[in-house]
Structure 1
Amino acid sequence: MRPVGLALIALAALIPLFWFAPLAASRDPVALFSQYLGTAALIVMGINQFLATRVPGLELVFGPLDRIYVLHKWLGIIAMVGLGLHDIIDADMDGLRGGPLADAAEDIGEVSLYGLLILVLASVITFIPYHLWKWSHRLIGVFFFMGAFHYFFIEKPFANADPLGLYVSAFCILGLVSYVWMSVLRPLAPRGHAYKVASVRHINGLTEVLLEPRGRGLKHVAGQFAFLSVMGGGLTEEHPFTLSAAPRDDRSLRFTIKDLGDYTSRLYRELKVGMEATVSGPYGNFSMPSGRDPQVWIAAGVGITPFLAFAQTLKHRESGPIKLYYCVRERGDIPYVADLQHLAEETGKLELMIVNSLEGVRLTPERIVEDLKGDLRNAHVFFCGPAPLRKTLKNSLVLKGLRASRFHFEEFQMRTGIGLGRLAVWLWDRGIYAIEKRRAEKTQPAE
């Protein structure tokens, strides 16, 4: 996430204090603070709806789209905290007159709060199936509309036509327009680039798809991802996948997709040559740097896809020595090993190392440092794989001298939780510990 984007969001939420502060002299400050929390939450939700549109330019301000998805999640949580406090802290003020819709706005605000709370919780509880989550997620705009209705017609110490009222209304309108665009207009509008499925290949649980453009095609750089939608077979829903081949002159594209869920399972079974497809993008900023500094590429499982594209560009670009650690749990054929070995021999810049956990081999920070002969300070490390492994390696390598800014990664999952699973395990462990401690105390002989 880019600091400038975070600063703009924080500033947008804090600006209403400029108008709220003078009101504190004549109004209940506690109730006024509650009303500020409600307006700030609406502002954040309006921005969050806008972030979901994927309009051009968002990545320049807020960072790569994978980071925007993480920001989107946390802004939703922050907004819900603000709305929850607004509901708990009494916002009623003496001497205010509401319009004819004030009572209805109060009730609708309650419905909006609890509806949004349920949907935000559904977003961070990751064991809920993706298709159910995505369907329910569309209702957030409906509850946001109800929250905006509550704001427009509820009793408050300023008018909708005042500068403060106009300011907050602008973010409500931004959120509502964004929702209408995403849920109604965008599905009807032409989008993306038209492609045809040229070939389909199944490789050890992976589906490799080669697409040929039906028009000018999509222009991308190695390491980026795009949204794929296939016409037919129940595959029209857009899903993001990394492009697993370097850019080609004819702008054909290759995706390599692992069978991990309902959609990817259907893709594995139903995708056929000749099907029409739409590709939207590209997105992401996971790209190789220029220069001759040493590089370390770490791929786990299907995380090899961006590095396949990276490796194909080595024939045409300058780079320093590159060590690719391909972490797998395979006994038979390992996808794309032959291709990578050929590229390594052809370019002379790439050293491929298979890290097979079934053979008792583990990738450790110490091994990386040893293989680099201690030159960690000047290295770039690229990682694509599970978050726990990423965090372990990054923390250890930074402690050993790697500059944190040179550890590059992309969020492997667009939908992530907030640690509820870890919290549940911790609470369970604490509960078991307390029970065992009480039992031990009861069984101790009296002195």
Structure 2
Amino acid sequence: MRLFGLILIAAASLVPLIWFAPLAAERDPVAVFSQYIGSAALILMGINQFIATRAPGLETVFGPLDRIYVLHKWLGVIAMVCLGLHDIIDAEMNGLRGGPLAGIAEDIGEVSLYGLLILVLASVITFIPYHLWKWSHRLIGIFFFMGAFHYFFIEKPFSNFDPLGLYVSAFCVLGLVSYVWMSLLRPMAPRGHGYKVSSVRHLGGLTEVELQPKGRGLKHKPGQFAFLAVKGSGLSEEHPFTLSSAPRDDRSLRFSVKDLGDYTRRLRRELKEGMEATVSGPFGHFSMPSGRDPQVWIGAGVGITPFLAFAESLKSADAGTVKLYYCVRERDDIPYAMDLERLAEEVGNLELVIVNSNEGVRLTPERIEADLGGGLRQAHVFFCGPVAMRKALKSGLVLKGLRASRFHFEEFEMRTGIGLNALAAWIWDKGIYAFEKRRAAKTQPAE
């Protein structure tokens, strides 16, 4: 996530204070604060609807798209906190004249609040099936429209045509236009590059899809991802997957898709050679640096896919020594091991190390440091895999001398929660501890 983009969002939500501060001196400051919080929530939601469009230039301002997904989640959470405060803190003021729709706007605002609250909670509770989450997520724009209606017609100490009113209205319009574009207009005119499925292979739990361009095709860098949509057979909804091949002269592409959910299982069953597809992108800034500094690549499970593209690109890259750790649970769950071993023999500067956890082997910061001969300070580390593993390795490697800016990763899970599972586990542990403590106190013999 880029600091510049975060500053822009913060500034956009703070600008209304220029107009709300004088109002607080003239009217009930608590009610004015409540109205400011409600306006800030609309501004954040309008921005959130816009960044969901994946419009060109967003990655320049906010960072790689995988980080934008994280930003999108947290903007939604912060907006809901603001709406909750707006609802709790009384925003009514004396001496205001409401229009004929003020009463209706009040009721619609309540519906909008609770509808958004339910949908945002559904977004961060990750055990809800993806297809249900995706369907419900589309309704957020409708409740946002209701929130904008509430703002336009509710009683407030300024006009919609005042500078403050126009400013907040602009973000409401931005959000509504973005929602209409994504829900209605974009599906009628899908963007992207036309492709045809040239081959489908099943490699253990992976579905490997090779695509040939129908036109000029997509140009990408190793490690980037793109959105794939297949025409027909219920596979037309876009889904993001890492491009597991290096750029080719004919711009053909390869995706290696893990069977993790309803869509990917359906893709495995129904995708056939000759089917037409649309690929949009590419996205992401997960790419190799220039120079000959040593590199460490860590791919866990399906997280190996960007490193397949990295390894293929070494044939034409002037890179230093590369050590690739392929972390798996089962010896049979390494479909690309032979391809990587062949590439390691061809390029010479790539060493493949398979780390099999079922054999009692774990990848640790100590092992990486030892394998590099203590040269962590000069190294670049690239990681793609589970979040817990990433955090453990990064913290350990930084403590041993790796520069934090040289630990590169992409968000392996774009749909993430907000720590509810960890919070529930903590509460459970504390409850069990308190229960055991009380029971021990009751059973302790009196002196």
TM, length-normalised to structure 1: 0.99
Q: State the Cα distance separating 1:331 from its structure 2 match.
A: 2.6
Map residues 294-373 of structure 1 onto 2, 5 A cutoff: 294-332=294-332, 334-373=334-373
Equivalent position of 1:194 in the other structure: 194
* CA–CA separation in structure 2 for the residues paired with 1:31 and 1:332: 64
Equivalent position of 2:374 in the other structure: 374
Equivalent position of 1:152 in the other structure: 152
Equivalent position of 1:282 in the other structure: 282
Equivalent position of 1:445 in the other structure: 445
* CA–CA separation in structure 1 for the residues paired with 2:306 and 2:169: 43
Map residues 9-408 of structure 1 onto 2, 5 A cutoff: 9-332=9-332, 334-408=334-408
* CA–CA separation in structure 1 for the residues paired with 2:25 and 2:359: 72
Letter of the 1:364 partner, please give it: T
Q: State the Cα distance separating 1:333 from its structure 2 match.
A: 6.3
Q: State the Cα distance separating 1:234 from its structure 2 match.
A: 1.1
1:79-121: per-residue Cα shift (whole Å, max 9, x none)? 0000000000000011111111111100000000000000000
1:198-247: per-residue Cα shift (whole Å, max 9, x none)? 00000011000000011111111110000001112211111000000001
Letter of the 1:267 partner, please give it: L
Letter of the 1:336 partner, please give it: Y
Is the alpha carbon distance of 1:166 and 1:333 closer, same or farther for their aligned partners in structure 2, counting shifts above 3 Å? Answer: closer
RMSD value over aligned CA atoms? 0.7
Letter of the 2:217 partner, please give it: G
Q: State the Cα distance separating 1:339 from its structure 2 match.
A: 1.1
1:255-301: per-residue Cα shift (whole Å, max 9, x none)? 00000110000011111001111111000000000001000000001
Letter of the 1:438 partner, please give it: R
* CA–CA separation in structure 1 for the residues paired with 2:62 and 2:228: 23
* CA–CA separation in structure 1 for the residues paired with 2:189 and 2:117: 31
* CA–CA separation in structure 2 for the residues paired with 1:190 and 1:208: 24
Unmatched tracts of structure 2, length 5 or more: none
Q: Secondary structure at the match of 2:167?
A: helix
Answer yes or no: is 1:426 the counterpart of 2:396.
Answer: no
Letter of the 2:15 partner, please give it: I
Letter of the 1:271 partner, please give it: L
Q: State the Cα distance separating 1:332 from its structure 2 match.
A: 3.0
* CA–CA separation in structure 2 for the residues paired with 1:63 and 1:145: 28
* CA–CA separation in structure 1 for the residues paired with 2:38 and 2:332: 58
* CA–CA separation in structure 2 for the residues paired with 1:142 and 1:333: 44
* CA–CA separation in structure 2 for the residues paired with 1:49 and 1:242: 24
1:363-420: per-residue Cα shift (whole Å, max 9, x none)? 0000000011111111000000000000000011111111111000000111001110
Letter of the 1:297 partner, please give it: W
* CA–CA separation in structure 1 for the residues paired with 2:137 and 2:131: 10
After the TM superposition, which parts of structure 1 deviate over 6 Å for at least 4 consecutive aligned residues? Answer: none
Q: Secondary structure at the match of 1:98?
A: coil
Letter of the 1:8 partner, please give it: L
Letter of the 2:204 partner, please give it: N
1:145-190: per-residue Cα shift (whole Å, max 9, x none)? 0000000000111000000000000000000000000000000013
- Point out the more displaced range, 375-384 or 435-444: 435-444
* CA–CA separation in structure 1 for the residues paired with 2:367 and 2:128: 38
Letter of the 1:46 partner, please give it: G
* CA–CA separation in structure 2 for the residues paired with 1:190 and 1:93: 47
* CA–CA separation in structure 2 for the residues paired with 1:25 and 1:10: 24
Is the alpha carbon distance of 1:444 and 1:171 closer, same or farther for their aligned partners in structure 2, counting shifts above 3 Å? Answer: same
Letter of the 1:3 partner, please give it: L
Aligned residues: 447
Equivalent position of 2:2 in the other structure: 2
Q: State the Cα distance separating 1:330 from its structure 2 match.
A: 1.7
Q: Secondary structure at the match of 1:316?
A: coil
Letter of the 2:138 partner, please give it: R
Answer yes or no: is 1:416 the counterpart of 2:416.
Answer: yes
Q: Secondary structure at the match of 1:25?
A: helix
